[in-house]
Amino acid sequence: MLNKLKPKSEFSRNVLTLMTGTTIAQAIPIAISPILTRLYTPEDFGALALFIGIVSIMAVLTTAKYELSIILPKRNSTGYQLVCLSLMLSLMVSLFYMVAMVGINTIYQFSYIYYLLPVTVLFIAFNNVFDRYNNRIKNYKLMSSQRVIKTTVESIVSIALITLLSVKTGLIFGFILGYFISSLTMLYINFKSFKAKKLKPSLSKMKALARRYINFPKYSMPHTFLNTLSANIPIFLIPFFYGSYTLGLYAFGLKIIQAPLSLISASIFNVLGQKMAEEHAQGREIKTLFVATVKKLIIFTIPMIPVFIFIDDIFAFVFGEEWRVAGEYIQILAPWLLFVFVVSPFANIPHIYNQQKKAFILEIMYTLVRILPFVIGAGILNMPLKEVLVIYVVLAILLLIYGFNWYYSLASGVKK
């Protein structure tokens, strides 16, 4: 009976494996959120959001996005050399960040917590590189396990530091240590695998691969940088125009609602990217897979609609009345969040078809769309945040529709 319920296709089994681990990983921080909201203030959550925003932008440059190419070569030995290239770059860039932080501190004094940015960047880079490599070799069990490890450590540390030591930056330390333990786990397991296969890094091969996949640092890196920057624009601008308290409400609400959405879309993104790259490398069409995935994603969105309608009441009940406004922000963002949920799993398609340049141009437009509502609406017209978010959502959805049509047109072609 249980065997009949198991997915028959490899693609579905892989998605289920990754989604199971991601479900547990996402459930842990959501489960303890009612505790955290009563231990930490909105300002504390705002400080976490600001730290994550800065470190996310810095992390983009560490590997020059060569980790995105790990799933593309036919041979695993070539993928291994790309892993070595990405890790070497991440070490060099993180060291540069450390030196730069010391230099900046002589001019501008900042909080001690920001000294941990270079180290955090290194942990995130290692995590991303090994995540892509395990995606390549279809080791979805390890990918699932490391997600659970990360959120478990993050949750335990966050609660322990505020309750035992009254550390207000406990959320940030939890975030850092979660990535540290997660990346250390994958490093240990994958290193044993490399040693067993007698794989050794080759500087000449790494140089050749760096030239072969030059489009990733040339287009994908600035593209991802803009994407990360634009995604964090509200995090940087909201405290400037509306204060850190409002930032905490906005960032917390977005984090809670994106957790279940990314549970599915991120799992499909990883498995779908690997599957499409494999199919395309073999000269087979991917349109059928594209259409089938879209239909499944749309079906998943239907039961989410009632949740968004009553999300303000849900937030007030679960997290406390103070957090109702966070739910109101999410109600406004709901249409955009659902569009992102459907479109984002296909973001690997431009990489597969070597269309990073156009993807970069599209990202420039998307960045402007995210900046303008805040600069004009909040900075010039002094509009309330809710009105700014409405404009933000409308413009973003229009660009998402254009991007989705482009992905479909690429997927409809067959490799010659």
The 10s digit of each residue's pLDDT in 255-291 is 898 877 776 777 677 677 778 888 877 888 888 888 8
More confident residue, 405 or 17: 405
pLDDT of residue 415: 43
pLDDT at 5 over 50: no
Amino acid at residue number 26: Q
Q: Which of 146-150, 310-314, 355-359, 411-415 has the lowest mean pLDDT?
A: 411-415
For residue 13, give both structure tokens.
């089994």
Dist. CA 322–CA 76, nearest whole Å: 52
Structural tokens at position 148: 């659970």
Against a cut of 0.85, is the pTM above it?
A: no
Helix, strand, coil distribution of the chain in percent, nearest 5: 85, 0, 15
Tokens 């990754």 -> residue: 18
Q: Which range (178-187, 231-240, 273-282, 315-324) has the least confidence? A: 273-282
Average pLDDT over residues 17-36: 84
- On whether the CB atoms of residues 337 and 258 are closer than 8 A, the answer is yes
Nearest to 157 by CA among 256, 263, 39: 39
Q: What band does 317 get if pLDDT is binned at 50, 70 and 90?
A: very high
343-to-53, 258, 365 alpha-carbon distances in Å: 22, 14, 17
Using CA atoms, how far apart are residues 174 and 128, in angstroms rounded to an integer? 18
Provide φ and ψ at 108, rounded to 5°. Answer: -130, 120
| Phi and psi angles of residue 319, each rounded to the nearest 5 degrees, phi first | -105, -10
For the stretch 122-153, pLDDT in tens is 999 999 999 999 988 888 888 888 989 999 99
Q: What is the rounded average pLDDT for all residues in the chain?
A: 88
Q: Counting beta carbons within 10 angstroms of the beta carbon of residue 138, is it exposed (0 to 12), middle (13 to 18) or buried (19 or more)?
A: middle
Domain boundaries, the chain: 1-213, 214-416
What is the distance between the alpha carbons of residues 36 and 278, in angstroms, rounded to a whole number?
Answer: 43
- pLDDT level of residue 306 (50, 70, 90 thresholds): very high
- Range in 52-56, 338-342, 409-413 the model is least confident about: 409-413
DSSP letter for 108, please.
S
Q: What is the mean pLDDT of residues 300-315?
A: 91
Cα–Cα distance measured from residue 328 to residue 339, given in angstroms and rounded to the nearest whole number: 18
Is the predicted pLDDT of residue 3 greater than 60, yes or no?
no
Alpha-carbon distance of 411 to 109, in angstroms, equals: 50
CB 274 within 8 A of CB 92: no
